[in-house]
Amino acid sequence: MPSMASLFAVMLNRGRAYQTDRPLEDQAEWAVHAKFMDALVNDGLVVLGGPLEGTNEVLLIFRAGSPDEIRQRLAPDPWHRTGLLEIARIIPWTLRLGKLP
């Protein structure tokens, strides 16, 4: 029986393949990556996400059953396959203020 969905803060780092001298939209396979991430949003897995300005990190808020489910769902992303992004941490998160869609 699948476990109930919980919230997780997922921290990603830009990997070695990320070209820091190029904007986000000019990275390799941007359109495929964007479509992949939009599908995770449409599936209800990613509820918030984006780069943390002034850092090499990206924050995603996931609704998932486990950290393994998150790893499995991110694995096919071309940016993860090619080393543009790497999972740094997956942390269970309890939302105490406000609400998510």
Q: What are the residue boundaries of the structural domains of the chain, listed by start?
A: 6-92
- CATH for 6-92? 3.30.70.1060
Closest CA to 10 of 78, 96, 98, 80: 80
Q: What percent of the chain has pLDDT over 90?
A: 92
Chain centre to alpha carbon of residue 65: 15
Average pLDDT, stretch 92-97?
94
Q: How confident is the model at residue 19 (pLDDT cuts 50, 70, 90)?
A: very high
Ramachandran area for residue 98 (φ above 0: left; ψ -120 to 50: alpha; else beta): left
- The pLDDT tens digits for 36-84 are 999 999 999 999 999 999 999 999 999 999 999 999 999 999 999 999 9
> Would you state the pLDDT for residue 2?
44
- Residue 76: burial class (beta carbons within 10 Å; 0-12, 13-18, 19+): exposed
Contact 9, 59 (CB under 8 A): yes
Tell me the one-letter amino acid at 69.
E
Contact 13, 80 (CB under 8 A): no
Ramachandran area for residue 76 (φ above 0: left; ψ -120 to 50: alpha; else beta): alpha
